[in-house]
Structure 1
Amino acid sequence: MSKHILGILCSGRGSNMQSILAAIKSGQIKAEVGIVLTDKPEARALAVARENGIKSICINRKECKDQQDFEEQLVAELRNAGVTLVVLAGFMRILSPYFVGEYRHQILNIHPSLLPSFGGAHAHRDVLAYGTKVSGCTIHFVDEGMDHGPIILQDTVPVLENDTEETLAARVLEKEHILYPRAIELYVDGKLELVGERHVRIKN
């Protein structure tokens, strides 16, 4: 089987991308990163990619005609790089059915809560407001719904009485940096099997 090529989409500092790159360098993930794409020219992820010798491109959504134009440019760059798995790592854009259809069951996302609870952009704020005692993170396949696709892995952290959004986010992020490389490892090793519409089985 040919080696998997990852395309990483980021909008910010790229901390999850750095954990993925470290897992590739250590041999945990048997793949390479073909391209890093961002929608924000100021994204730190662009510099991280350059520092690691990875092709990186900003496709500024503000300079595109519309969502379709933006996503067609994303897909073109991913195709040119030979990408076999799209990894969303802090990519703050909702992808349309067009993009999802182009990479059906080949897009992973990470979310900082235990889905299906607390989806959306303000998970930590919503967790604290609700009074939940446990939070965590979720790795899932991306489908047409927001934070909705089949769940691959989850891990938990306790919510402490004195937590703020920042302290909770920091503890969840530590889990993310472990869990996301593990999910990618399972994918590239062919150990994930989608059963029906919602269930992901991890093969031995």
Structure 2
Amino acid sequence: MVKNIAVMASGGGSNFENLAVKSDFLNMKIKVLIIDSPEIYAAERAERLKIPCRIVNRQDFKSKREFEAGIMSALADFEIDYIVLAGFMRILSADFINCYENKIINLHPSLLPAFKGKNGIEDAFNYGVKVTGVTVHFVDAGIDTGKIIDQTAVIIEDGDTLATLEEKIHQTEYELYPAALKKVFDGRV
């Protein structure tokens, strides 16, 4: 059965586009892209891919609660099975998460539980670890604390810079995220 997906993003949307390209393999349909600012390049990707895009601009709302109500209103226009976060740089409230319990999936650029939060790549690099990675997990009320679906290690080699590590992480994300989502959609998680 095809899964209907909403993707939420705050940036360039390369993971969104990667998932859109692989959607047939994943047996999913991206019904909508939700972005939190009108200046996000992901919107151009959605237009090119002919995927509906809804802008729920955080600046238009007085509170987080109102902002999340705006997201819920945008989602209500579509029959959604899962919400997939692809670089969505906002922390969702427990109330929002509870409305979609075990239906929100996130991609994080570290081997959780290490290096939680928005700077996972930079934090791992600056700490000096030799191994970091990518994690796909269900979202819960904590920050990057939900049940892990899958992980892949990325070796930090001598001579790597923050930029080369970021590129390695992104290439790993493009492989891991679709594979992890397939596990979820196939009922293997």
Partner of residue 104 from structure 1, selected from 87, 93, 101: 101
Counterpart secondary structure, 1:80: coil
> What does residue 13 of structure 1 align with?
12
Per-residue deviation, 1:79:
2.3
Gaps of 5+ in 2: none
- 2: CA distance, partners of 1:135 / 1:175: 11
> What does residue 81 of structure 1 align with?
78
Percent identity between matched residues is: 37
> What does residue 33 of structure 1 align with?
30
Aligned pairs (5 A) from 1:116-195: 116-192=113-189
- RMSD (Å) for aligned C-alpha atoms: 1.0
- 1: CA distance, partners of 2:73 / 2:87: 21
Per-residue deviation, 1:184:
1.3
Gaps of 5+ in 1: 193-204
Per-residue deviation, 1:161:
2.0
Which digits, 9 at most, give the CA deviation of each residue in 1:67-113, with x for residues without a partner? 00110111121122111100000000000011101100000000000
TM-score by length of 2: 0.97
- 2: CA distance, partners of 1:127 / 1:39: 27
The answer to whether 1:91 aligns with 2:93 is no
Q: Residue type of the partner of 2:146?
A: G
> What does residue 44 of structure 2 align with?
47
Counterpart secondary structure, 2:18: helix
> What does residue 200 of structure 1 align with?
none
TM-score by length of 1: 0.90
Per-residue deviation, 1:166:
1.2
- 2: CA distance, partners of 1:188 / 1:49: 23
**More divergent stretch after superposition (70-79 vs 85-94):** 70-79
- 1: CA distance, partners of 2:71 / 2:28: 20
Per-residue deviation, 1:53:
0.9
Which digits, 9 at most, give the CA deviation of each residue in 1:135-171, with x for residues without a partner? 1100000000001100000001111222222110100
- 2: CA distance, partners of 1:158 / 1:78: 38
> What does residue 201 of structure 1 align with?
none
Which digits, 9 at most, give the CA deviation of each residue in 1:156-199, with x for residues without a partner? 1111222222110100110100010111112222221xxxxxxx
> What does residue 198 of structure 1 align with?
none
Counterpart secondary structure, 1:145: coil
Misfit runs of 4+, over 3 Å: none
- 1: CA distance, partners of 2:116 / 2:181: 21
Counterpart secondary structure, 2:172: helix
